[in-house]
């Protein structure tokens, strides 16, 4: 009498795949049917909804832990296709090497006979194609984002004072929200000479708090004047284009604030005048032989030195 084999099954979808109609239930049903047809007992089912770009996935860690503890009673670990297992070629081979010692990882729709050395070539194709697909998809997304920016549309997370929305053609656009008045206040007060610390305190009355660094970035953001910055890439330089969204402040106010910020930057970085004293003519000219920094000097109040000078 043959001993019935036992299997772990694993179904996975990512968040964007769920939106496209992929189903954990269908994967699980297919694997259970495969096991039933071959007299294999399913002892555990793992279901996850994480991206397979890496193996830092809670459910996958639980699967590995369960397989390690029960390795003597598990004959196989099943996935529907190899892209359900991983979409990262390098990490996938590392995981396969790990499971080689405690069990057999199988794909029911893309079967591979691991006893044949040449089968690794087919496995490499199965594992590489999903990664190539990810890379290609990433390129298309970046190209789409850049195209939107060049057309004046901000399709990323809206900055303070705006919220993400859709226009009448269902295209992404940003529209002003209740914090827009706070943005106007910030620009107006800076243009009138108020400090950034003073502006930060006043912004709290509008229901939001920003850090000093984020306020500086906010004050230089051309989105608030109705323009969109398109960053440089390998073939095109950075450019500023006219946006399709409503500006919060006018151009004259924005330029005035830039002048204030630039003046403050120049004042902070202005080269200090040389305060050399006649009695220290080499201060700032000589360099230390150990650290390479300029050598300084100062008058000494040592009584011993004064006594030596008097003796001379």
Tens-digit pLDDT profile for residues 104-120: 788 899 888 877 888 87
Q: What is the pLDDT of residue 112?
A: 85
Percent of the chain with pLDDT over 90: 37
Q: Is 21 left (phi over 0), alpha (psi -120 to 50) or beta?
A: left
Residue 88 has pLDDT above 60, yes or no: yes
Coil, helix or strand for 218? Answer: helix
Question: What are the boundaries of each domain within the chain?
Answer: 6-133, 162-268
Long-range own/partner contacts, residues 235-240 (CB < 8 A, 24 or more apart): 239/150
Burial of 83 (0-12, 13-18, 19+ CB in 10 A): buried
Q: Predicted confidence band at 277 (pLDDT cuts at 50, 70, 90)?
A: low
Asked if pLDDT for residue 287 goes beyond 90, the answer is no
Q: Do domains 6-133 and 162-268 have the same CATH topology?
A: no
Q: How confident is the model at residue 34 (pLDDT cuts 50, 70, 90)?
A: very high
- Give the model's confidence band at 2: pLDDT under 50 very low, under 70 low, under 90 confident, else very high: low
CATH assignment of 6-133? 3.40.50.1390
Rounded to two decimals, the pTM is 0.56
Domain topology for 162-268: Hect, E3 ligase catalytic domain fold (3.90.1750)
Per-residue confidence (pLDDT) for residue 117, from 0 to 100: 81
């Amino acid at each position: 009498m043959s001993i019935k084999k036992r299997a772990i099954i694993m179904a996975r979808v990512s968040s964007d795949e769920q939106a496209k109609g992929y189903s954990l239930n269908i994967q699980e049903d297919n694997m259970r049917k495969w096991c039933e047809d071959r007299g294999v007992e399913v002892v555990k089912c793992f279901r996850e909804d994480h991206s397979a770009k890496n193996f830092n996935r809670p459910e996958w860690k639980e699967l590995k832990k369960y397989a390690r503890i029960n390795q003597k009673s598990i004959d196989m670990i099943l996935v529907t296709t190899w892209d359900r297992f991983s979409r990262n070629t390098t990490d996938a081979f590392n995981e396969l090497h790990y499971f080689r010692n405690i069990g057999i990882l199988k794909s029911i729709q893309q079967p591979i006979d691991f006893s044949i050395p040449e089968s690794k070539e087919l496995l490499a194709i199965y594992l590489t194609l999903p990664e190539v697909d990810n890379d290609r998809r990433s390129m298309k997304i970046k190209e789409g984002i850049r195209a939107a920016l060049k057309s004046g549309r901000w399709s990323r997370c809206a900055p303070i004072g705006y919220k993400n929305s859709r226009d009448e053609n269902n295209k992404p656009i940003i529209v002003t929200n209740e914090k827009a008045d706070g943005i106007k206040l910030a620009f107006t007060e800076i243009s009138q000479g108020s400090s950034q610390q003073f502006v930060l305190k006043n912004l709290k009355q509008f229901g939001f708090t920003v850090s000093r660094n984020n306020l500086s970035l906010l004050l230089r953001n051309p989105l608030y004047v109705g323009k969109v910055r398109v960053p440089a890439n390998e073939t095109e330089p950075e450019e500023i284009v006219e946006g399709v969204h409503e500006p919060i402040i006018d151009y004259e106010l924005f330029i005035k604030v830039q002048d204030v910020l630039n003046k403050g930057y120049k004042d902070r970085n202005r080269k200090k005048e040389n305060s050399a004293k006649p009695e220290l003519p080499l201060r700032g000219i000589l360099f230390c032989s150990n650290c390479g920094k300029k050598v300084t000097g100062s008058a000494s109040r040592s009584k011993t030195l004064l006594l030596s000078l008097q003796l001379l």
